Structure 1
Amino acid sequence: MDGVIHEVDEALRRLVRDEALRGSDLEVAFDAPTKDWAARRNAPTVNIYLYDIREDMKRRQRGLLNEYDARGQVAARHLPPRHMKLSYLVTAWTQRPEDEHRLLSDLLIGFLGYDAVPPGLLTGSLDELALPVPMTVALPPPEDRAFADVWSALGGELKPSLDVVVSAPVSSGRRYTAAPRASQGVELRNGEDRVRHDVSPEGASMRKVAR
């Protein structure tokens, strides 16, 4: 999980710098935006704070997925990936509220341009899975969660923010090697010759065996 979170962090960092803010030299931080952190900040900053992790139950799949070898035969089976919803509180920190609102507007437009994290920003396991990584911005929070509660837990004052949620696929690592295809035989005697019936998953065949 640590690797996946780091990969999503890096993808969001690049998305903010290269897409939303068009190469701006603003700092991008992932620290908890507490009062102490705000007091130490000495440059305009975009803060991307991961405040919640939970499974995306709507994307859970059942059963096993097949892996095929070069001959098109099942070589192994594995559990489908689970999707984890990583929720980020995105805020802008400058000296003036007007500048913060301008930054938030740029960030909002930048995030709204994508329904998923651009594949070119994915690294590590997210890139290897080659699956979409859905992303939403500014949707209403679940009923069991309020942003005011998040700020209260941080000990800070309520501040304009964007809620960005990334649904990241995570491999369970559980893989089962497929058993070799069975071949069974029944041998019948017929006078001088023996006839062997070979049975396989593809069907039956018959061959004559010298006595």
Structure 2
Amino acid sequence: MIHDLDESIRNLFERDVLNGSGVDLEFDAPTKEWVGQLNKPTIDIFLYDIREDLTRREVMFEDVRDEDGKVVDRRQPPRRFRFAYLVTAWTKRPEDEHRLLSSILACLVRNERLPPEILAGALADSERAIVTQVAMAIDDDRMYTNIWSALGGELKPAVNLVCIAPLDVSRVLPFGPPVTEEPRISVARPDTDDTETIRPRGRDEDDDRADDDTALPDETVRGGKEDEPGRVYRVHAMPRRER
């Protein structure tokens, strides 16, 4: 998924920033060795941090339905991660670098979400938007300087870009077939071994039962003990049917 996000950012920059200017676009770490090999203006988009966005985590499984609208599976929703990029411009003159950074900043501010038409790979099929945050404060201010120290280079103006993108975990729970039969309840009297299966009946059957002499009387049963009475249950019996 990360390579799809890289390709999506590349598509956006080539469309709205470079405009056929001949500036290279790279995703390498801006180390001294890498900088020494540059021979033309370059924009570098270096991925330096990946963290899950816990504020956007969804815990409820999603229903997967077929063409008839019936639930056939339950799918775990995607997890969202924050991908932090360090965007820098490399030219021979600081003025040219500032122009490139200005174009980058304007492009990212205009696109608070990556446009659907530039999304690549699995992200193009995602139902969730790719949110961007530009030039926001870093959680740990020391991280920014530590990045340049780790790269072995000098501090350089850069645009901090954070993309919040979903990662599909592809976890699916099987869902049982829908219940199509009516429930059946087996009732046994305590003074006999006979059991009887009762099915739910409609309103018309209730009306017919009032005139049926074979209907059994209703019973009221109290649960619990004498000193600790429980709930009261009313058993609504039905006439015995021929099998």
Q: What is the correspondence of 1:126-137 to structure 2 with a 5 Å cutoff?
A: 126-137=123-134
Per the TM alignment, residue 184 of structure 1 is displaced from its structure 2 partner at its CA by: 5.2
Q: 1:149 and 1:31 mapped to 2: Cα distance?
A: 17
Q: Which residue of 1 aligns with 2:70?
A: 73
List alignment gaps of at least 5 residues for structure 2. 187-196, 206-240
Q: 2:135 and 2:112 mapped to 1: Cα distance?
A: 12
List alignment gaps of at least 5 residues for structure 1. 189-194
Q: 1:143 and 1:24 mapped to 2: Cα distance?
A: 36
Q: 2:18 and 2:110 mapped to 1: Cα distance?
A: 13
Who wins on radius of gyration, i.e. which is larger? 2
Per the TM alignment, residue 130 of structure 1 is displaced from its structure 2 partner at its CA by: 2.3
- The residue identity in structure 2 corresponding to 1:63 is M
Taking only the aligned residue pairs, the percentage that are identical comes to 41
CA contact (8 A) 1:21 1:107 kept: no
2:42 corresponds to 1:40:
no
- The residue identity in structure 2 corresponding to 1:10 is E
Q: Counterpart of 2:199 in 1: which secondary structure?
A: strand
Q: 1:8 and 1:31 mapped to 2: Cα distance?
A: 15
- The residue identity in structure 2 corresponding to 1:178 is F
Per the TM alignment, residue 144 of structure 1 is displaced from its structure 2 partner at its CA by: 6.3
- The residue identity in structure 2 corresponding to 1:13 is R
Q: 1:32 and 1:187 mapped to 2: Cα distance?
A: 69
2:53 alignment partner, one of 40, 52, 56: 56
2:164 corresponds to 1:162:
no
Q: Counterpart of 2:165 in 1: which secondary structure?
A: strand
Total equivalences in the alignment: 197
Q: 1:112 and 1:143 mapped to 2: Cα distance?
A: 23
RMSD (CA atoms): 2.5
TM-score (norm 1): 0.85
C-alpha spacing 1:196/1:9, structure 2 compared with 1 (3 Å): same
Q: Which structure's relative contact order is higher, taking Cα pairs within 8 Å and 6+ residues apart?
A: 1
Q: Which residue of 2 aligns with 1:197?
A: 199
Per the TM alignment, residue 122 of structure 1 is displaced from its structure 2 partner at its CA by: 1.1
Q: 2:62 and 2:90 mapped to 1: Cα distance?
A: 46
CA contact (8 A) 1:53 1:86 kept: yes
19-28 or 8-17, larger mean C-alpha shift = 19-28
- The residue identity in structure 2 corresponding to 1:197 is R
1:6 alignment partner, one of 3, 7, 11: 3
Q: Counterpart of 2:39 in 1: which secondary structure?
A: coil
CA contact (8 A) 1:20 1:111 kept: no
Per the TM alignment, residue 153 of structure 1 is displaced from its structure 2 partner at its CA by: 0.9
Greater share of strand residues, 1 or 2?
A: 1
Q: Counterpart of 2:25 in 1: which secondary structure?
A: strand
Q: 2:76 and 2:114 mapped to 1: Cα distance?
A: 24
Q: Which residue of 2 aligns with 1:21?
A: 18
Q: Counterpart of 1:72 in 2: which secondary structure?
A: coil
Q: What is the correspondence of 1:85-96 to structure 2 with a 5 Å cutoff?
A: 85-96=82-93
